[in-house]
Structure formats: structure tokens, C-alpha cells
Amino acid sequence: DSKSGGDGKQVLSMATNAEFPPYEYVEGEDVVGIDVDIAQAIADKLGMELKVDNMNFDSIIPAITSGKDAIGAAGMTVTDERKKNVDFTDSYATGVQVVIVREDSKITDVKDLTTKGADNTIGVQLGTTGDIYCTSDIQDKGFGKVQQFNKGADAVQALVSGKIDCVVIDNQPAKEFVKANKGLKILDTEYVTEDYAIAVAKDNTELKDKINGALNELKAEGTIQKILDKYIKA
Ligand code: ARG
């Protein structure tokens, strides 16, 4: 919308959930990460001032539909269900839903979760695609139980302490969480591959088009790749 920043620039306010390293996380007092750098680069191209609004993941789409924030940038997967409420820009990255288990786990494949009698308790971050897929593929079919956490890191702590059997989450945060904890591993099997994009209000085609223009330039210039490489070490 038309809010003005300190130096007279239009504000581009970004709803996010900074519990998702390396896409967005808190460092000191700042929210940093891939999405922040990409949104900053877009704001620079559009001559706007980026403002980051940190909230729970499941509050991001409501923040956009209510007009509280102009965009949602949160490693957010494009889904048909979400498209009913918001529009998405072109995709700028891909993610994969993976399974984190304890090193000694009997779970070795996604099929060990999505099978009758499997009976695992699966931790997810509330409102994420991991939550949505596990709820419909596993819990709704009676194959196991889904436990929702506000933060991915809390799901991982529950896994470490043996309260749940695995965590389903995007591959890049999964890598960070496994690195930060002992005794965990990521299964060598992928659940779902998805596209990340920026969410914009349905009636804000003008902003969506401008962002797509900026994204195209940033892709062509190699800036998006540079930002991804800065945070994702091979
Ligand atoms: N890609 C998943 C989704 O869109 C998870 C995103 C979680 N992002 C976050 N900032 N917590 O549902």
C-alpha cells in the first residue's frame, strides 16, 4: 500500500516467520536470510524501503489478505489452496519436504510413514505444506499422528528428546536443524518437491507485476543465485 518510509520512499512490508533458516532467522536483533536479501534486492530495484514483519507462519496469508503487509516472503510454497486467498509471483527457489529422524530410527523411507499400521508421531510446523501433506496422507488415513509445533526448531527438540518419531520439513532448514543437534539425520528419500514464491494480495496485480519484473532482472544478473549461494553451502 501507500505507507511512506522515513526517507519518503514507499514501504514494502514483508510478512515472514523467522524460524526457517537459512531463508529467514533471527540474528541478534535482526531478521536475516535468503528471503530478506531477495526482498531487499527487489525493494532496491523498485525504489522502496523494505520493512520486515515477523509473525507466526500461519498468520502470513491473513496479514496479506487484510492489507497489514504487502508481501509474504517465507520460503512459502505455491499451492492451489493458498492461491484461493493470495497470488504468487514467479518462483525464485525450490524446496523439498524431507524426513528428519534420530540416527537409530527404524524409519528409513517415506513409505514407513504412509503405510497402514505405521503408527508414527510426526512433528511439523503448523500450517506448512509438511503439516498439510502429513495430515492428509497419514493422520486422516489413520496411519499415524501429526503433532503441530509453532516453530520447526521445537518439533526438532521434541524429536531429540524422543517425544515424537520424526519431523517433516523443508530440506534447507532440515539441514540447519540437523547440524545444530546431535544424533539426527535426514532420510535419503524425498517426500514432495515444491516451488517457493512471494505471496501478494489478489487485487494487487500492479505490485505482483513489478516484483516479477524485478525478479527477472535479479535472476538474469545472477543476484538470486548469489544470494542462495551466500546462505546455502554445498
Ligand atoms: N515451504 C513450506 C510451506 O510453504 C514451509 C515454509 C515455512 N516458512 C517459514 N518461514 N517458517 O508451507
Over 70: is that where the pLDDT of 1 sits?
A: no
Q: How far apart are the first and last CA of the chain?
A: 38
Say whether pLDDT at 146 is over 90: yes
Ligand 1 mean position, distance from CA 198 (Å)? 11
The predicted-structure confidence for 209-227, as pLDDT tens digits, reads as follows 999 999 999 999 999 999 9
Mean pLDDT of 12-30: 98
CATH number assigned to the domain covering 11-94+195-231: 3.40.190.10
Domain locations in the chain?
A: 11-94+195-231, 96-192
| CA 16 to ligand 1 centroid distance, Å | 9
Tell me, yes or no, if the two domains 11-94+195-231 and 96-192 fold the same way: yes
Q: What is the pLDDT of residue 2?
A: 53
Q: What is the rounded CA–CA span in Å between residue 23 and residue 74? A: 7
Residue 142 Cα to ligand 1 midpoint, Å, equals 25
Residues having CB within 6 Å of any atom of ligand 1: 16-17, 19-20, 23-24, 57, 74-77, 95, 125, 128-129, 170
Model ipTM value:
0.98
Provide the pLDDT for residue 3.
67
Provide the pLDDT for residue 4: 73
Fold exhibited by the domain 96-192: D-Maltodextrin-Binding Protein; domain 2 (3.40.190)
CB under 8 Å to 67, separation ≥6 — which residues? Answer: 1, 201
